[in-house]
């Protein structure tokens, strides 16, 4: 009987260990972008191939749609990592962060808070580091500062593949250009940036909204197609929530710590369970 635990563990291990939740995380962030109106008001489509992890000193990793009312929490330049995708030493990327305004706004221009050309991705395995060390910072990172009473602004961080023949437009082709408004979709189109690699967003609100705001729907990761796989079905999980426009604060609300594309715990498949039962029967 002493071999039984080993046999049972061997039967169950493939279904408990080594789960790759990257596809689920990608589907979750796609749902966040749709539910928050970033698609289609800022981006016509959004099909990332990797998952962004955005981390601020003192605030830790930021979940998609995480809400803040204290902009000092997101004032430092964040660290960025990627999970998913493959990258070569010579690959270059363009990194941008823009203010897409509150949900429901359809503005012709966006405030540019960060724009860097010639970004690289380093590391032998995930999580890969998004490095701006040898890049050209057209606009250095500038923390959010939404107008008081204007509601939660969506700050969208995006990474695009940068082609070898990339040419920055006049006015945005030298370093140290200050924060200003520009037409971000036109910038992407006119510079012929390549595929969108990854994206995420968070919200910042100053004061209490004095305007009528559109609400958003939560993202429930357990309902996404990738939550089920051939080796097992997903177990119920807490909703991964995009905050409503009335939500605020960086903790204690749906947009703070639950607005997540974090891995979903998966149930052990019935195949593994039946294998374990068979082992018990045989050795009894």
pLDDT digits (tens, 9 = 90+) for 198-207: 999 999 999 9
What pLDDT score does 226 carry?
79
Whether omega for the bond prior to residue 127 falls within 30 degrees of 0, making it cis, is yes
Is 115 inside a domain boundary?
yes
Is 3 inside a domain boundary?
no
Structural domain of residue 98, as residue ranges? Answer: 22-269
Interstrand relation of 93-99 and 51-56 (parallel, antiparallel or unpaired): unpaired
Give the DSSP per-residue string, 164-188. TT--PPTTSSSS-PPSEEE-HHHHH
Is 264 inside a domain boundary?
yes
List strand residue ranges (DSSP E) for 5-163, in order: 51-56, 60-62, 66-68, 79-83, 93-99, 110-122, 128-131, 136-139, 153-161
Is 147 inside a domain boundary?
yes
* Average pLDDT estimate for 33-44: 95
* Average pLDDT estimate for 102-128: 92
Is 190 inside a domain boundary?
yes
What pLDDT score does 21 carry?
87
Residue 212, domain CATH: 3.90.280.10
Helix (H, G, I), strand (E, B) or coil at 53: strand
pTM of the full structure: 0.77
Residue 211's CB is within 10 A of a number of other CB atoms, namely 11
What is the total count of domains within the chain? 1
Is 11 inside a domain boundary?
no
pLDDT digits (tens, 9 = 90+) for 224-247: 887 775 345 444 344 444 443 334
* Average pLDDT estimate for 92-109: 91
Q: How confident is the model at residue 10 (pLDDT cuts 50, 70, 90)?
A: very low
**Residue recorded with tokens 């920055």:** 168
Biggest CA pair distance of the chain: 78
Is 13 inside a domain boundary?
no
Average pLDDT, the chain: 79
Is 42 inside a domain boundary?
yes
């Amino acid at each position: 009987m002493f071999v039984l635990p080993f046999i049972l563990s061997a039967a169950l291990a493939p279904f408990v260990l080594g789960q790759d939740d990257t596809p689920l995380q990608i589907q979750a962030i796609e749902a966040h972008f749709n539910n928050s109106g970033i698609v289609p008001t800022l981006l016509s489509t959004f099909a990332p191939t990797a998952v962004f992890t955005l981390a601020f000193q003192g605030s830790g990793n930021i979940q998609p749609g995480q809400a803040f009312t204290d902009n000092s929490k997101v004032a430092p330049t964040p660290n960025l990592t990627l999970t998913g995708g493959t990258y070569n030493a010579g690959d270059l990327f363009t990194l941008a962060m823009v203010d897409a305004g509150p949900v429901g706004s359809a503005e012709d221009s966006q405030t540019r808070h960060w724009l860097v050309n010639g970004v690289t991705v380093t590391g032998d395995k995930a999580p890969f580091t998004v490095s701006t060390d040898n890049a050209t910072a057209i606009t250095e990172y500038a923390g959010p500062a939404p107008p008081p009473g204007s509601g939660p602004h969506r700050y969208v961080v995006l990474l695009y593949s940068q082609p070898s023949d990339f040419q920055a437009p006049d006015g945005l082709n030298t370093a140290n250009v200050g924060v200003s408004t520009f037409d971000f979709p036109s910038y992407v189109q006119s510079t012929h940036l390549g595929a969108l690699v990854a994206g995420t967003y968070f919200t910042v609100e100053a004061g209490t909204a004095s305007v009528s705001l559109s609400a958003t729907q939560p993202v429930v990761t357990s309902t996404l197609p990738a939550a089920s796989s051939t080796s097992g079905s997903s177990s119920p999980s807490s909703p991964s929530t995009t905050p409503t426009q009335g939500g605020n604060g960086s903790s204690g609300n749906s947009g703070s710590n639950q607005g997540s594309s974090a891995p979903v715990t998966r149930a052990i498949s019935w195949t593994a369970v039946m294998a374990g039962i068979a082992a018990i029967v045989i050795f009894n």
